[in-house]
Amino acid sequence: MFWGIVLIINADLHIHSRFSGATSEKMNIQTISTEAPRKGVDVVATGDCLHSGWLKEISQCEVIDEGTFELNGTRFILSTEIEAEKRVHHLLYFPSITAVWDFKERIKSKSKNLENDGRPNVHLSGEQLAEIARDVDALIGPAHAFTPFTAMYAYFNSLNDCYGDLADYVSFVELGLSADSDFADKIKELHRLTFLTNSDCHSPHPVRLAREFNRFDVKDTTFNELKKAILRINGNKPVLNVGLPPQEGKYHESACISCHTHYTLEEAERRRWKCSCGKRIKKGVKDRINQKADFAEPVHPEHRPKYIHLIPLAEIITKAVGQYNPFTQTVTKRWSELVDAFGSEINVLLDVDIQDISKVTVPAVTEAIQAFRDKKVIILPGGGGEYGKIELPSSEQLVQIPIGPSDTQTSLSDY
Ligand SMILES: [Zn+2]
Ligand SMILES: [Zn+2]
């Protein structure tokens, strides 16, 4: 290897396999390995690597080195999500299969579902978990840190609160779909950490897989190089976070979990978190972060990369061609013709000349992609478990596009 050669890679470092609860059967290693490049992603973290069945499937890949595997041109690194004390979710990245086995051995007696669920529960504190992670040389950090359920800041006030003496060993925080760098950098203790933006997907559909990802400068596409990038050493580093506009997240604003009426923080507090329909109001990520904020406006440390907000292409197409959801044949056809022509979704969204796009697809889709690039897409914020919705600036006109007779909807439950 020559010094000075830098590779720029895109990585989605949190997914779930078909061995996790509520996850599509299509989350098998073959499908993930062929779908990732179409989204423009080079590296995927396997998720669920403590599960024997999934580990066996991972062994179909070519071994690049102890901690790096490859199938159909997609590289994989070993990772898992674990639910520990107070149901808080943690993300871990392992240097080798031996490290995975060692780790499993150490937590075996503390878990009842290690072999049943890809995302196991353990009776361990964040501190105990981080200690075992450190012993096997794995990286650890909080998953989707601000969501109202199963997240660090929902139950702990600080990294110290959650990880105790091992707080310094934590090297990253996953922002989750409802937050971005501007939100997270209002909290001072997060400034030293690398921000990860991952899909946490349970389906390989293009609106899910790599809906968030990270771009790193590395010298090779391997676990060790990615580890250095997360730790920001030897010149390796994150150079971009890419994610949904936080308003699209399911828990962005405080809202009722049943009727999804949105409330301001003041209003929710005045109502003691009870909606007029009688059900509970769930505190949104925006309000949680603003309550925890050390700064009224984000203060970015020098190492913090830019954050780009992307709306999945399939969602943009859905609106443009007047469909109700992104899982229909029409949307898939329009998505595929663009991705087939230009290599990956990220190319279509950001890089390809709009004139070239117009030669491949219908005018409504071209206009919608242009509206996205011009930041003219309107987002109605999510909350209470309901994703945000997007609207195109001139949706009344755009939905008039005729839809072919063969346009039958596939079942949403497939995803
Ligand atoms: Zn989780
Ligand atoms: Zn309600």
**Per residue in 262-284, pLDDT tens?**
999 999 999 999 999 999 999 99
CA 2 to CA 13: how far, in whole Å?
27
Q: Which ligand is nearest to the CA of 15?
A: 1
**Per residue in 384-402, pLDDT tens?**
999 999 999 865 544 433 3
Q: Which ligand is nearest to the CA of 82?
A: 1
CA 67 to CA 345: how far, in whole Å?
28
Average pLDDT over the chain, rounded to an integer: 93
| Residues having C-beta closer than 5 Å to ion ligand 2 | 256, 258-259, 261, 275, 277, 279
Q: Which ligand is nearest to the CA of 87?
A: 1
Q: How many angstroms separate the alpha carbon of residue 255 from the centre of ligand 2?
A: 8
The two three-digit tokens of residue 160, written as one number: 């110290």
Contact 306, 237 (CB under 8 A): no
Predicted pLDDT at 149: 87
The two three-digit tokens of residue 217, written as one number: 């400068």
343-364 mean pLDDT: 96
Predicted pLDDT at 3: 58
H-run or E-run covering 12: strand 7-12
Q: Which ligand is nearest to the CA of 274?
A: 2
3-class SS of residue 130: helix
204-210 mean pLDDT: 94
**Per residue in 327-336, pLDDT tens?**
999 999 999 9
Q: Which ligand is nearest to the CA of 143?
A: 1
**Per residue in 91-111, pLDDT tens?**
999 999 999 999 999 999 999
Q: What is the pTM of this model?
A: 0.92
The two three-digit tokens of residue 260, written as one number: 């999804």
CA 95 to CA 402: how far, in whole Å?
52
Q: How many angstroms separate the alpha carbon of residue 385 from the centre of ligand 1?
A: 14
How far, in Å, are 180, 339, 379 from residue 255 at the CA level? Answer: 19, 36, 16
How far, in Å, are 48, 49, 98, 139, 344 from residue 17 at the CA level? Answer: 6, 9, 20, 20, 23
Q: Which ligand is nearest to the CA of 23?
A: 1
**Per residue in 16-38, pLDDT tens?**
999 999 899 999 999 999 999 99
**Per residue in 119-133, pLDDT tens?**
999 999 999 999 999
Q: Over 60: is that where the pLDDT of 88 sits?
A: yes
Q: Over 90: is that where the pLDDT of 56 sits?
A: yes
3-class SS of residue 84: coil
CA 313 to CA 368: how far, in whole Å?
10
Q: How many angstroms separate the alpha carbon of residue 280 from the centre of ligand 2?
A: 7
Q: Over 70: is that where the pLDDT of 413 sits?
A: no
CA 296 to CA 230: how far, in whole Å?
27
**Per residue in 291-320, pLDDT tens?**
999 999 999 999 999 999 999 999 999 999
Contact 203, 209 (CB under 8 A): yes
**Distant-in-sequence, close-in-space partners of 3: CB < 8 Å, separation ≥ 6:** none
Contact 58, 69 (CB under 8 A): yes
Q: How many angstroms separate the alpha carbon of residue 259 from the centre of ligand 2?
A: 4
Q: How many angstroms separate the alpha carbon of residue 151 from the centre of ligand 2?
A: 23
Predicted pLDDT at 333: 97
Q: Over 70: is that where the pLDDT of 353 sits?
A: yes
Q: Which ligand is nearest to the CA of 278?
A: 2
- Residue 260 zone, left/alpha/beta (φ > 0; ψ -120 to 50; rest): left
**Per residue in 152-196, pLDDT tens?**
999 999 999 999 999 999 999 999 999 999 999 999 999 999 999
Q: How many angstroms separate the alpha carbon of residue 124 from the centre of ligand 1?
A: 16
E strands present in 232-293: 237-243, 255-256, 281-282
- Confidence band, pLDDT 50/70/90 cuts, at residue 5: confident
Q: Which ligand is nearest to the CA of 152?
A: 1
Q: Over 60: is that where the pLDDT of 411 sits?
A: no
Q: How many angstroms separate the alpha carbon of residue 274 from the centre of ligand 2?
A: 8
CA 333 to CA 338: how far, in whole Å?
9
Q: How many angstroms separate the alpha carbon of residue 213 from the centre of ligand 1?
A: 16
Residue 308's beta-bridge partner residues?
A: 242
Q: Which ligand is nearest to the CA of 154?
A: 1
Alpha helices per DSSP H over 271-362: 285-292, 313-320, 329-342, 345-346, 354-360
Predicted pLDDT at 360: 97
Q: How many angstroms separate the alpha carbon of residue 8 from the centre of ligand 1?
A: 27
Q: Which ligand is nearest to the CA of 80?
A: 1
Q: How is residue 201 annotated by DSSP?
A: B
CA 377 to CA 341: how far, in whole Å?
24
Q: Which amino acid is at 78?
A: L
Predicted pLDDT at 188: 98
The two three-digit tokens of residue 61, written as one number: 């890949």
How far, in Å, are 162, 381, 400 from residue 258 at the CA level? Answer: 30, 16, 33
Q: Which ligand is nearest to the CA of 280?
A: 2
> CA 248, 16, 124: angle at the middle one, nearest 5?
100
Q: How many angstroms separate the alpha carbon of residue 377 from the centre of ligand 2?
A: 27
Strands 213-218 and 7-12, bridge-based pairing:
antiparallel
Q: How many angstroms separate the alpha carbon of residue 279 from the centre of ligand 2?
A: 5
Q: How many angstroms separate the alpha carbon of residue 382 from the centre of ligand 2?
A: 14
